[in-house]
A and B are shown apart, each in its own frame.
Chain A
Amino acid sequence: MKRAANGLAAIAVALLCLAPFAWQIFSSFQTELGRPSLRNYVAAFQGRPFGQIILNSLVVAAATAACCIAIGASAAFAIAKLELKGRSALLGASLACSMFPPIATVSPLFLLLRRLGLQDELAGLILPYTTFALPLTIWVLTSFFREIPDELYSAARVDGCTPFRAFRLIFLPLAGPGIATTAIMVFIFAWNEFIYALTFISSPEKRTIPVAISLFATGQTEPWHEIFAASTIVSIPLLIVTILFQRRIVSGLTAGAVKG
């Protein structure tokens, strides 16, 4: 009985999420002549290196996620499990960085990246993306590490394990769901970010997807059919990454590692 109710709810939720996109997908197959065709999908790749653009977004988003996890997971472990002086201050300071309106940071960052020689480079995007996604990473992973019982660490310590080894061999594998969740969130944030991508990247072959889509509107008309086709195309890699990662969310702690 409960299962049937849940099943219905699931269908309703899926419809609510997908319904607005139904119009997008429907329009993407339409042309001005009214007959459905794949012309818009082909047109998305003409006149612009769209494949390269998708690759750029993939590289930037994946690199950002990887950096965030690498830097953030170690810090989160230290904050959660080791008696680190000033850990509340660190959590608070990182949260404070997330409180600043991004628009005010564009100009100073532009100057900073120029000085670092990273202007018009993908690395010049990865750096600020990682920085501003770190707070969320640290907070989520800290809360995950805190869920893991302290006895695991004290037991390892007794066995002569250093913090580094404990982190790498014990806690990192156990935090699978948290890492997968954070990776998806950071990936999507970097994938969709617009203002920095517009200001810091100027070469056409280095553009990322949100800016490239905003460049679809040439002339004074808005070619919505093409834009929707492009948007449908770019949601495919996103869906693949999401499906890959959300499997990881399921496994992990529930595999019975915490029997004590």
Chain B
Amino acid sequence: MHQADSPDRVRLVFKYQPLGPDPAPMRDLLADFERQHPNVEIATEQLPNDADSALQYFLTALEAGADFDVLVVDIIWVPMFARAGWIADLSQPFPAELIRHDFLAGPAEAAIVEGRVFAVPWYTDVGLLYYRTDLVPRAPRTYAELKQFAAEARRKDPSVQGYLWQGRQYEGLVCNAFEAIWGFGGTIETEQLRIDTPAARAGLGYLRSLLRGGVSPSSVGSAAEEDSRRVFQSGKGVFMRNWPYAWNEAQAEDSPIRGKVGFAPLPTAKGEPGHGALGGWQLAVNARSPPARRAAATKLVAHLTSVQANLSLATAYGRRPARRAAYEDVYSLSSFDKALYPILQNARSRPLTPYYNLISDTLQGEFSAALVGIREPEQALRRAQQQINRLTAAAQ
């Protein structure tokens, strides 16, 4: 930090989503930066939590040339924003090898587009299986075991639901569906985007059988994360698929299931630990941010993604750190995060392509159609594949 050639006061605008009800820890983190860089003033502007609203705002504002400095991006938006030229190439201050070395593999790869770094991972997320330790003997390893355990628990207590997950027509359904597809050994290559595969058919078929067979209640068809969590937390569910945030809620003071919950990797068809969908958000610098502010913006990104910041955000807001070093700090890390680490390392990303939003919209419609019974999984996937081929060809 060169005090001698500091310019006049620089005002950075940071657009992000509120991380939790208490704004104080985030404010302290930013005040910390301002103290270390006395010529920088940070103004924060909050965006709604809802990813759709945030995306809509960014599309409008960035295309119109708004020049705020630092912004949060969803992990799957990076290729899209990079291709659009909205976020700056950060390969100079954050070389690709550095990103790959310092951060978990999943978030790191998501931040690198064609060898160039366009974002820095901020916090990460992975899909987990939660289970009631008092209702089932252990975490199920296969889908068959899951159905079996759920049936046994429901026989003992018919008022509980078996397996709660997210089947509403939105991005969460795509996460759930991909996890099922991966559970049957399928992969979706970014280059080819082949969705009409035997593994996909099996995965969708499995999800449908959960609803048909009564393992999952009908409300799953319109459930999002909070809907599943609320039912599970009231004690009325045996299994739940959700993100790590549900753990803190489950273990809260007044939770009816406090101390009775365990978590594990998702089950698969054959029994190996399942890949959870990779979630989380990254920090990026607006490409329109003028050079005078660019340096300060980059430093802010570095500050917010440092190990200390990772750990303090984990404690304050329950956000999973994206840095490997945070997981090696055995003193500061919670036991939950320690146990979560192997599952995080095994998380798999949805396809990283600038076309992701285009294809996700198609997938949401077709997956929902298969779940609800309008179409058979084979037909739904065939239609999805046709539309994806058409969209990606047309967009080129």
Contacts and interface: CB of A to CB of B under 8 A. Distances in A.
Does A touch B (CB under 8 Å) in the complex? yes
Interface of A: 32-34, 43, 47, 106-107, 110-111, 114, 195, 198-199, 202-204, 211, 214-215, 217-223
Contacts of B21: 43, 47, 218-219, 223
Given A47-B23, A107-B63, A111-B64, A222 B226 contact: yes
B19 A199 contact: no
B45 interface: yes
15 contacts: A34-B254, A43-B21, A106-B56, A110-B64, A111-B64, A114-B65, A195-B56, A199-B56, A214-B50, A217-B49, A217-B50, A218-B49, A219-B49, A220-B226, A222-B226
B18 A215 contact: yes
B57 A198 contact: yes
Contact of B18 (A111, A199, A218): A218
Interface in B312-366: 317-318
Contact of A106 (B60, B252, B253): B60
Contacts of A203: 45
Interface string B349-389: 00000000000000000000000000000000000000000
A202 B48 contact: no
Nearest to B46: A215
A221 B61 contact: no
Interface in B3-23: 15, 17-23
B225 interface: yes
Contacts of B61: 110, 199
A107 B60 contact: yes
A219 B318 contact: yes
Q: Please list the 4 inter-chain residue pairs (A to B) with the smallest Cβ-Cβ separation, ordered nearest first.
A: A218-B18, A214-B48, A220-B245, A219-B20
A204 B53 contact: no
Contacts of A217: 48-50
A110 B45 contact: no
B249 interface: yes
Contact of A204 (B45, B245, B253): B45
A57 to B, nearest CB: 17
Given A33-B254, A110-B64, A220-B226, 17 more contacts: A32-B253, A106-B60, A111-B64, A114-B65, A195-B56, A198-B53, A199-B56, A199-B57, A199-B60, A202-B45, A202-B68, A219-B18, A219-B21, A219-B49, A219-B245, A220-B225, A221-B245
B94 interface: no
A110 B56 CA distance: 12
B243 interface: yes
B64 A220 contact: no
Interface of B: 15, 17-23, 44-50, 53, 56-57, 60-61, 63-65, 68, 225-226, 229, 243, 245, 249, 252-254, 317-318
A209 to B, nearest CB: 13
A111 B47 CA distance: 20
A217 B15 CA distance: 16
Contacts of B252: 32
Nearest to B242: A220
Contacts of B57: 198-199
A218 B47 CA distance: 10
Given A211-B48, A215-B46, A110 B60 contact: yes
A215 B50 CA distance: 9
Contact of B22 (A47, A195, A215, A221): A47
B243 A220 contact: yes
Contacts of A106: 56, 60
A228 B298 CA distance: 39
A223 to B, nearest CB: 7
A21 B144 CA distance: 44
B254 A221 contact: no
Contact of A219 (B44, B63, B68, B317): B317
A203 B50 CA distance: 18
Contacts of B318: 219
Counting chain B CB atoms within 10 Å of each CB, the highest count among A32, A204, A220 belongs to: A220
A202 B64 CA distance: 15
Contacts of B243: 220
A11 to B, nearest CB: 33
Contacts of A195: 56
B226 A221 contact: yes
Contacts of A221: 226, 229, 245, 249
Contacts of B63: 107
Contacts of B225: 220
Counting chain A CB atoms within 10 Å of each CB, the highest count among B20, B46, B252 belongs to: B46
A67 to B, nearest CB: 25
Counting chain B CB atoms within 10 Å of each CB, the highest count among A199, A202, A203, A219 belongs to: A219
A171 B17 CA distance: 51
A215 B48 contact: yes
B49 A114 contact: no
Contacts of B56: 106, 195, 198-199
Contacts of A111: 64
Given A32-B252, A107-B64, A110-B64, A219 B19 contact: yes
A219 B22 CA distance: 10
Contacts of B229: 221
B362 to A, nearest CB: 20
Counting chain B CB atoms within 10 Å of each CB, the highest count among A43, A204, A223 belongs to: A204
Nearest to A106: B60
